[in-house]
């Protein structure tokens, strides 16, 4: 009898097009940021803003990045059968800076429909992004324990990753002398007129 895996968690990743233009656009904006840590988190990592109602992408009008994001969100949504991907709002966005010994604690992005990260600067050894299993109960069972492992993505400059906002994730400790910089964001779709293929 065949096995059917149900409730898969769709993660999207892609190297972006127009890499040099996106990097140049981001550099102008990132150079204006005064990074600081969120005190209540402890010595985790630096942020462009500790107020998550801010919108880095909107504040600096990152037109090239937004166009790249629109294209990739459409591809992702097409794959999951959601046909309203052309109408969305970037509700929050921020820049994260990870120096040596910085990390990202395990968290999720609440009610965001899609969350994502773009890697602006990395040496590919400065802390993998990891996702916790969507079903935390797998690791309570002897026979399913191996299916409940974390899934890791090595950061690469120009890589964009999109995932459900509810998915728990974190960033491994940067043990290198390189400073890693990424742009994170949350996306929501209108709550009316939603259709599926």
Q: What domains can be seen in the chain, in order of their start residue?
A: 12-188 (2.60.120.620)
Question: What's the confidence (pLDDT) of residue 79?
Answer: 94
Question: What's the confidence (pLDDT) of residue 1?
Answer: 63
Distance CA 46, CA 187 (A): 22
List per-residue pLDDT tens for the chain, 197 residues long. 688 878 889 999 999 999 999 999 999 999 999 999 999 998 899 999 988 778 999 999 999 999 999 999 999 999 999 988 888 999 999 999 999 999 999 999 999 999 999 999 999 999 999 999 998 888 889 998 888 889 999 999 999 999 999 999 999 999 999 999 999 999 999 987 655 55
Q: Which of 30, 34, 26 is nearest to 63 (CA)?
A: 26
């Amino acid at each position: 009898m065949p096995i059917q895996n149900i409730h898969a968690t769709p993660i999207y990743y892609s190297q972006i097009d127009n890499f040099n233009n996106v990097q140049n656009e981001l550099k102008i904006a990132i150079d204006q940021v005064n990074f600081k840590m969120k005190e209540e988190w402890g010595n985790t990592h630096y942020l462009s803003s500790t107020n998550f109602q801010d919108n880095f992408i909107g504040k600096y009008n990152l037109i090239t990045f937004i166009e790249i994001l629109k294209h990739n969100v459409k591809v992702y949504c097409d794959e999951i059968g959601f046909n309203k991907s052309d109408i969305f709002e970037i509700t929050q966005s921020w820049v994260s800076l990870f120096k040596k010994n910085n990390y990202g604690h395990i968290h999720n992005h609440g009610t965001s429909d899609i969350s994502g990260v773009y890697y602006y600067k990395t040496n590919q050894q400065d802390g993998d992004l990891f996702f916790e299993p969507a079903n935390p109960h797998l690791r309570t069972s002897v026979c399913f324990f191996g299916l409940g492992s974390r899934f890791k993505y090595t950061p690469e400059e120009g890589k964009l990753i999109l995932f459900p906002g509810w998915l728990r994730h974190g960033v491994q400790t940067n043990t290198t002398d390189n400073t890693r910089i990424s742009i994170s964001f949350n996306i929501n779709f209108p709550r009316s007129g939603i259709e599926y293929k």
